[in-house]
Amino acid sequence: MTTALLDVSGLSCRRGGRRVFDSLSFSVAGGELLALTGRNGSGKTTLLRAIALLVPAQAGQVRWQGEDVRADREAWCRRLAWLGHQEGLKGDLTVAENIAVAERLRGHVPEPARLQAALLAFDLDRLAHRPVRTLSAGQRRRAALARVVASQAPLWLLDEPLNALDAAARAALEAALSTHLAAGGLAIAATHAPLAGARALELA
Amino acid sequence: MSGVGALFLRDLRLVWRRPGDVAVVLAFFVVATVLFPLGIGPETNLLARIAAGILWCAALFASLLSLDHLFAADYEDGSLDLLLLAPWPLELAALAKCAAHWAVTGLPLAILAPLLGVAFGLDDRSLLVLALTLLVGTPALSLIGGLAAALTLGARRGGALLALLALPLCVPTLIFGASAIEASATGEGFMVHLAILGALALVSLATLPWAIAAALRQAGE
């Protein structure tokens, strides 16, 4: 087994006085896809947000290459690509503009070739100059996934990535995931539907 | 720094795509101020005396009117998560958003106000002082309003709550902004008032981005 890049140990979260999960420990190695499964309200989203430091954990640690990620939040943010319930796209900007702005917000200068490749991966090249508000839910989801691909971050955190995707888009996501994993990347996805090649972690 | 600039430009571009939002705010400012001379009647002396207070109050309300969406839009479409996850301080994001808000409301209000001042019979010097005080004072309004907008994220009836939170905090700016024009008219000189307005804006600039960022982190949880 390869050495784990991401180590979660004894992570506990409480929201509004209610225990969401307690002393959760797992690790993810380079090239591995972890699928978080579990019923609605089992804490999949909270776990993803806790890993991204969007939600404070009451106990436990998230370590990247052995170092607590809280020690350098900005370096940690640079390693993350995030897809939440909401896509994080601006309706009045076009698909291409949205991805370029997201890249700039991450402190990157967008490379046209990389953006184009990300758009092509999700069959968005013909929609690239359409304002996002004119797109369907599935098309918006694809645009957000293209944003994740364009970020080239080593760790993808995806909350229900398959939502609203049709069969073709699903295949595109699985292809993008396998390219990402083959390059040594990691991904954690909260999902109800099975994802090809994923190791499952069931949250009680 | 490029991330901060990108956020500022993104917000300006979003306003540019929807010019109606800013037009409504400026139209409100014009209509609200023009109602006073109509209601009070052609008493030139009285109008000139109360003009500064009316224009400043109207500018304050107009600036609050557009604050509803400042962070709420990002909160609703998930962009706030991307700001929280940007590899640079959230304080700078708060500052960039307030700066963009000022550029599309405070700045045009300061340019528009002297034109409306004519309707109140203000003399040339007072018109100049009015524009100057608004130029120096409105950044504080954008920052205070930004804090109220961040604190009321996700709250029901956020708009009314926002005004209730922001208005009392804007009182010092309002007092010194309006009294500068009166001081200038009576020949006292307005530099002291302008300096205090500048100080209020600088104190807001030095403290509020941190408070706004804390409120945004809370909202993101």
**CA nearest to B19 within chain A:** A92
Residue among B17, B18, B81 whose CB faces A82 most closely: B81
Kindly tell me the burial class for residue B172, based on how many C-beta atoms sit within 10 Å of its own C-beta (0-12, 13-18, 19 or more). Answer: middle
Q: Which helix (H) or strand (E) holds A186?
A: strand A186-190
Optimal mutation site among A86, A94, A105, interface B, most CBs of chain B within 10 A: A105
Q: Which two tokens stand for residue A99?
A: 């991805």
Count the neighbouring beta carbons within 10 Å of the beta carbon of residue A71: 10
**What is the β-pairing status of strands A155-159 and A80-83?**
parallel
Q: Which of residues 29-88 of A touch B (CB under 8 A)?
A: 49, 52, 54-56, 74-75, 77-78, 80, 82, 84-88
Cα radius of gyration rounded to whole Å, chain B: 18
Q: Rounded to an integer, what distance in angstroms lies between the CA atom of residue B85 and that of residue A37?
A: 24
Contact list in B for residue A160 (CB cut-off 8 A) is none
Q: What are the CA-CA distances from residue A96 to residues A13, A107, A155, B88 (Å)?
A: 37, 17, 22, 23
CATH class of the domain comprising A4-202: alpha beta
For residue B216, the model assigns a pLDDT of 94
DSSP B189: -
Angle of CA points B88, A4, A154, to nearest 5°: 35
Q: Rounded to an integer, what distance in angstroms lies between the CA atom of residue A111 and that of residue B48?
A: 57
Q: What are the CA-CA distances from residue B150 to residues A59, B146, B161, B215 (Å)?
A: 28, 6, 11, 6
Residue among B13, B17, B81 whose CB faces A54 most closely: B81
For residue A2, the model assigns a pLDDT of 54
Residue among B6, B13, B18 whose CB faces A105 most closely: B6
Q: How far is A92 from chain B (nearest CA, A)?
A: 6
CA-based nearest residue to A179, from A33, A64, A65, A28: A33
Angle of CA points B174, B93, A64, to nearest 5°: 150
**What residues of chain A score a pLDDT lower than 50?**
1
Q: Which residue has the tokens 């806790």?
A: A50
Q: How far is B154 from chain A (nearest CA, A)?
A: 15
Cα radius of gyration rounded to whole Å, chain A: 17
Residue A130 has φ and ψ, to the nearest 5°, of: -95, 140
Residue among A55, A75, A82 whose CB faces B221 most closely: A55
Contact list in A for residue B10 (CB cut-off 8 A) is 90, 93, 101
Residue among B2, B18, B78 whose CB faces A107 most closely: B2
Contact list in B for residue A84 (CB cut-off 8 A) is 78, 81
Contact list in B for residue A93 (CB cut-off 8 A) is 10, 13-14, 17
CA-based nearest residue to B83, from A136, A191, A178, A84: A84
Optimal mutation site among B9, B15, B71, B79, interface A, most CBs of chain A within 10 A: B79
Per-residue pLDDT of chain B (221 residues; tens, 9 = 90+): 488 999 999 999 999 999 999 999 999 999 999 998 888 888 888 888 888 899 999 999 999 988 888 999 999 999 999 999 999 999 999 999 999 999 999 999 999 999 999 888 888 888 999 999 999 999 999 999 999 999 999 887 778 889 899 999 999 999 999 899 888 888 888 899 999 999 999 999 999 999 999 999 998 88
Kindly tell me the burial class for residue A134, based on how many C-beta atoms sit within 10 Å of its own C-beta (0-12, 13-18, 19 or more). Answer: exposed
Q: Which residue has the tokens 């691909």?
A: A149
Q: Rounded to an integer, what distance in angstroms lies between the CA atom of residue B54 and that of residue B37?
A: 10
This model of the complex carries an ipTM of 0.91
Provide the 3-class DSSP secondary structure of residue B105: helix
Q: Which two tokens stand for residue A46?
A: 């909270």
Alpha helices in A80-136 (DSSP H): 95-105, 112-121
Judge whether A12 and A58 are in contact, CB under 8 Å.
Answer: yes
